[in-house]
């Protein structure tokens, strides 16, 4: 019985990491990328998301609850995991370890990001281009956000590989190798989008590099 419950929890954890949490990350990166078109474009995209009907219900039931479950159970997996990179050093073993490390970094990063934006907004602050520019004007916060975004894109991309394996989508060594190339490409593309958006907040000219 306990085995069935753990199997279900791991499946649910994997599924929620892709849908809806993974989809939300992609959407969030795309909205942030509007910063490369200037402050007005980002503010317009941000305000559009804030004006969605049933916004609070969507945030609670489609984003925060699934993300909270994924984070809590992910921590359980991380501290229960038997990492063997020191003994074997295989590529997938390192991906397994980095998935857990990136998850812990993400938990810290997301908590701080929510505090700086969503909680601040609840107390009357306006989440806009100027807010993010002020936050990222600190060199420490700039590095912190870059590390957070890279952790997020890696965690999603590598999680997609694990998801495909655990859900029986890629069962052969050949299909898993192809999935590795695909998820690496996803990681590169999403990281480029995320870093370019961050650079646009601190210096619009850097976003074109």
pLDDT single digits (tens) 189-208: 999 999 999 999 998 665 55
Q: What is the mean pLDDT of residues 12-17?
A: 94
CA–CA gap between residue 73 and residue 9 (Å, rounded): 8
Two tokens at 27?
A: 């959407």
* CA-atom Rg of the chain in angstroms: 18
Q: CA torsion sign, 191 to 157 to 150 to 35?
A: positive
CATH number of the structural domain spanning residue 48:
1.20.1300.10
Q: What angle do CA 157, 117, 193 make, to 5 degrees?
A: 35
Two tokens at 110?
A: 């997301």
User: Does the pLDDT at position 30 exceed 60?
Assistant: yes
DSSP states of 27-58: HHHHHHHGGGG-HHHHHHHHHHHHTSTTHHHH
User: Does the pLDDT at position 82 exceed 90?
Assistant: no
CA–CA gap between residue 50 and residue 122 (Å, rounded): 13
Compute CA 23 distance to the chain's CA centroid, rounded to the nearest angstrom. 9
Q: What is the mean pLDDT of residues 122-134?
A: 92
Question: 85-105: per-residue pLDDT in tens?
Answer: 454 458 888 898 899 999 999
Compute CA 176 distance to the chain's CA centroid, rounded to the nearest angstrom. 22
| pTM, two decimal places | 0.91
| Residue that is written with structure tokens 């700086």 in the block | 116
pLDDT of 2 reads 61
Other C-beta atoms closer than 10 Å to the C-beta of 104 total: 15
CA–CA gap between residue 52 and residue 132 (Å, rounded): 21
User: Does the pLDDT at position 64 exceed 50?
Assistant: yes
Name the pLDDT band for 54 (thresholds 50, 70, 90): confident
CA–CA gap between residue 115 and residue 110 (Å, rounded): 8
CA–CA gap between residue 176 and residue 183 (Å, rounded): 10
pLDDT of 11 reads 92
Q: Total structural domains in the chain?
A: 1
Domain that holds residue 138: 2-208
pLDDT of 92 reads 87
Q: What is the mean pLDDT of residues 53-64?
A: 90
């Amino acid at each position: 019985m306990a085995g069935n419950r753990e199997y279900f929890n791991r499946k649910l954890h994997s599924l929620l990491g892709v849908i809806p949490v993974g989809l939300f990350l992609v959407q969030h990166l795309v909205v942030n990328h509007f910063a490369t078109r200037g402050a007005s474009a980002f503010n317009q995209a941000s305000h559009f998301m804030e004006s969605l009907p049933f916004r609070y219900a969507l945030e609670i039931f489609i984003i925060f609850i699934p993300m909270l479950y994924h984070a809590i159970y992910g921590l359980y997996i991380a501290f229960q995991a038997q990492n063997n990179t020191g003994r074997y050093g295989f590529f997938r073993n390192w991906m397994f370890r980095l998935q857990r490390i990136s998850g812990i970094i993400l938990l810290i990063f997301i908590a701080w990001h929510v505090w700086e934006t969503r909680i601040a907004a609840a107390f009357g602050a306006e989440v806009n281009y100027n807010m993010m520019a002020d936050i990222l004007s600190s060199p420490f916060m700039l590095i912190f956000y870059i590390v957070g975004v890279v952790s997020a894109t890696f965690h999603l991309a590598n999680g997609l590989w694990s998801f495909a394996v655990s859900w029986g989508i890629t069962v052969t060594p050949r299909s898993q190798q192809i999935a590795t190339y695909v998820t690496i490409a996803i990681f590169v593309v999403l990281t480029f989008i995320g870093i370019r958006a961050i650079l646009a907040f601190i210096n619009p000219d850097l976003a074109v590099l």
